[in-house]
Amino acid sequence: MSAGIEDNNLEPEIDLSADMPSQKIDPATADKTQVIPKLGQAEQAPHQVDVRVGTMLKDRFILESVIAKGGMGVVYKARDIRKIEARDSNPYLAIKLLNKKFSARKNAIITLQRETRKSQILAHPNIINVHDFDRDDDVFLMTMEYLEGQPLSKIIKHKGKPVALPTNEALRIIESMANALVYAHSKNIVHCDLKPANVYITKEKVVKILDFGIARAIQVSDVFEVDESLNQGDGMNALTPSYASCEMIDGETPEPRDDIYALAVISYELLTGLHPYGRKSAVQAHKQGLKPKVIKSLTHRQWRVLSAALSFKREQRPDSVKDFIHEFVPGSQPGFFKTWGLPAAGISMLLAALVIFQGNFLASHEVEIVTVPFTNLSQADQEKVLSLLEIADAHMMVQRYTEPPGSNAYVAYSQILKIHPGNPQALTGLSRIADVFARLAKDYISKGESITATSLIEEGLKISSRHEQLLQLRENIQ
């Protein structure tokens, strides 16, 4: 199935007339993002926004079809005629437009600008790539990558009925979501509305988390400057009752353990096909004393950490997503390290595959390192390098050093060096990857497994041929 990104749910969000804590939540709307206006705020007259399929924005973007509708507006699939002129094989992108009701708010433009800036900070393989914020007269728009695939909310339902995914597939998706959240939380950003409709699975089976637009900076001064009055005065809070923690529903300041609760609810659904509390909100489930049924396919260790993550009180949940996923996914160490749980024969086969895939780029590159001044690069190349550095940083943070093929830190650094030979950050990054191979090689040497250690040393030297520790290890083995 081919589709675009989905913004919350396809139905419009629901306006409530009273504060959230005193509201009775209708089970029929429990899975929809609900927007709660602040008391005493008057609505302004809406702008006259007339946008439809076929409209061209910014003399550049042609809206082709509606992908989804959410509380903030409508998401369109669009064609970029600049890319068509450049004969780009993929001229498509997704564009989010503010709806009339939202754009009428006093701080609408500021809200969308903040959403874009937060999303741009999150350059991670498992988070949708946001390009830019712009406006065309009174139309505010945000451009982002166009994804083909389908939301998790559709995958976990078959003909309208919930289904459990195979355990291995469920754990893969859970780990990818966790990796994205670990990265976002490291940037002091909480998602605040994580749910299956905001998780997308592409045709290539890549997991992407969408819509960090209602996320809040935990420590905004560490990320970018924000007028804190806007956080309280933009008139909106948003959440999805069946995935929101008690603290979120009660209006407390969001923090990472709220995302952990949502991640745990989704994990339970993926493994059982059922919501742990029958789609009731956390507040309702807590009042009724509900407890999730034990998942018998899980180990005692896995169930213990999952049930803790489903706790109604923050202090009873794991301290971080990293703590949760380490306990929940067997042998969980993101990306690269899972590879080395293979037997020696498997490692040898993988190393051979990596050699074929990665070629001898750095072996030939390091013979002659020419540092080209960054300012000598074209504006387009400078932007590419900066973008790739962010991507590489994201891969390094979740330890995706040399796998999966085509999307890892090694590939990103290699692409940087093709554009900017001698780039110091890229060379430093490659050296850090080689450090990992050195540590692994030392571990295998200590176990007396010299064949595996030698393979690791040689592979590390293909990444950084002058790595002193690897050279010393090779000399010691010989």
The Cα–Cα gap between 97 and 286 comes to 37
Averaged pLDDT, 77-99: 89
Instruction: Using the Cα atoms of residue 476, residue 352, residue 178 and residue 298 in order, give the sign of their dihedral.
Output: negative
Query: Six-digit token pair at 111?
Result: 């809200």
Q: For the packed helices 379-397 and 167-186, what is the interaxial angle rounded to 10 degrees?
A: 120
pTM strictly above 0.75: no
Domain extent listing, the chain:
14-25+39-144, 153-328, 336-477
The Cα–Cα gap between 77 and 342 comes to 42
The Cα–Cα gap between 38 and 171 comes to 39
**Interval 143-187: pLDDT, tens:** 888 999 999 999 998 777 888 999 989 999 999 999 999 999 988
Q: How many CB atoms lie within 10 A of CB 131?
A: 16
Q: Rounded to a whole number, what is the distance in angstroms from the first to the last CA of the chain?
A: 54
Asked if residue 229 has pLDDT above 60, the reply is no
Q: Which residue's structure tokens are 């520790």?
A: 469
Q: What is the pLDDT confidence band of residue 396, given thresholds at 50, 70 and 90? A: confident
Top-confidence residue, 87 or 271: 271
Q: Which pLDDT does position 374 carry in this prediction?
A: 79
**Interval 270-292: pLDDT, tens:** 999 999 999 999 999 999 999 99
The domain defined by 14-25+39-144 carries CATH number 3.30.200.20: yes
- The fold of the 153-328 domain, in CATH, is Transferase(Phosphotransferase); domain 1 (1.10.510)
The Cα–Cα gap between 412 and 391 comes to 7
Share the mean pLDDT of the chain. Answer: 77
Query: Six-digit token pair at 216?
Result: 């809040």
In terms of DSSP bridges, do strands 34-37 and 14-15 run parallel, antiparallel, or are they unpaired? parallel
Burial class for 326, CB neighbours closer than 10 Å (0-12, 13-18, 19+): middle
The Cα–Cα gap between 142 and 1 comes to 25
Closest by alpha carbon to 236, among 280, 192, 282?
192
Query: Six-digit token pair at 354?
Result: 């990596």
Q: Which pLDDT does position 215 carry in this prediction?
A: 54
In this structure, of 240-244, 326-330, 416-420, the range with the lowest mean pLDDT score is: 326-330
Closest by alpha carbon to 78, among 87, 89, 67?
67
Averaged pLDDT, 35-63: 65
Q: What is the pLDDT confidence band of residue 51, given thresholds at 50, 70 and 90? A: confident
The Cα–Cα gap between 456 and 450 comes to 10
Consecutive H or E run containing 200:
strand 199-202
Averaged pLDDT, 294-302: 92
Q: How many CB atoms lie within 10 A of CB 466?
A: 12
Q: Which pLDDT does position 196 carry in this prediction?
A: 94
pLDDT above 90 covers what percent of the chain?
A: 36
Averaged pLDDT, 223-245: 56
Q: How many CB atoms lie within 10 A of CB 293?
A: 9
The Cα–Cα gap between 249 and 243 comes to 10
The Cα–Cα gap between 447 and 444 comes to 5
The Cα–Cα gap between 338 and 188 comes to 27
Q: What is the pLDDT confidence band of residue 137, given thresholds at 50, 70 and 90? A: confident
